[in-house]
Structure 1
Amino acid sequence: MSAPRFGRIGEGPAAPPGGEAFSELLAGGGARVVRIASRGHADAEGAWYDQAEDEFVLLLAGAARLEFAEGTARALAPGDWAVIPARCRHRVAWTDPGRETLWLAVHLPPH
């Protein structure tokens, strides 16, 4: 039997300027929970995530904008969340360069 683990979501690798830092907090049964820190990060124009799994993202701090291949975009503020279905092409278009943007992402097993 494993022992419980504890942590603080605000503690973890800091995002480098213009980049991101990823920390896997939990994985099992094909699912993953990931902490993502961003600072002034944007995916390259025309570069799309096209994931085999559904993803839930919750913006905890900072600000971001997601873009979708079908032409829509959505600004996110702390407390905003999104469910991104498998094969929904998307990208991070912008994160605040003046402060760290902190995400919690849950990747479900592919179906």
Structure 2
Amino acid sequence: MTNIFNLPVELPNEELFESLASSTNLLIERIISTGQTTPTGEWYDQKRDEWVILLQGEAKIAYLDNPAVTLKAGDYLLIRAHQKHRVEYTSSEPPCIWLAVHGNLQ
């Protein structure tokens, strides 16, 4: 058994992506952010839907075609496939702990 809130003793300088479960059509991962953001001018354009919940910390997600969203612990959202978005802020203290589910979601 593992606990989603147990963090490595030393966190790397880059975002940490950990696959928790996966199949050909689904990926569940834990993401740990400590102040990382999407590089200026870059946008994520994912092939699959992503449902994400912020379990700890604070973050801000910006969309190319919609207003930005500020997230606090417990907030979740669905990012549709090819919905261009970027991470504009993640807290470092406490680190952000995300749970992300990638797939073709309804």
TM-score over 0.5 for the alignment? yes
Question: Residues of 2 paired with 1:12 and 1:29: CA distance?
Answer: 27
* Secondary structure of 1:66's aligned partner: strand
CA 40–98 in structure 1, closer or farther in 2 if over 3 Å, else same: same
Please state if 1:10 is matched with 2:5: yes
CA RMSD of aligned residues (A): 1.7
Contact 1:15 1:38 in 2 (8 A): no
Q: How many residues align?
A: 104
Please say which structure displays the higher CA radius of gyration. Answer: 1
Give the CA deviation at 1:28.
Answer: 1.4
Q: What residue is the counterpart of 2:90 in the other structure?
A: 95
Give the one of 84, 89, 100 matched to 1:105. Answer: 100
Question: Residues of 2 paired with 1:38 and 1:15: CA distance?
Answer: 9
Give the one of 48, 54, 57 matched to 1:53. Answer: 48
Q: Give the TM-score normalised by the residue count of structure 1.
A: 0.85
Q: What residue is the counterpart of 2:28 in the other structure?
A: 33
Q: Give the TM-score normalised by the residue count of structure 2.
A: 0.89
Question: Residues of 2 paired with 1:25 and 1:46: CA distance?
Answer: 30
Give the CA deviation at 1:71.
Answer: 4.7
Give the CA deviation at 1:34.
Answer: 0.5
Contact 1:15 1:100 in 2 (8 A): no
CA offsets, 1:30-60, max 9 Å, x none? 1000000001111111111100101000000
- Amino acid of the structure 2 residue aligned with 1:98: E
Identity of aligned residues (%): 36
CA 62–87 in structure 1, closer or farther in 2 if over 3 Å, else same: same
* Secondary structure of 1:94's aligned partner: strand
Q: Gaps spanning 5+ residues in structure 1: where?
A: 1-5
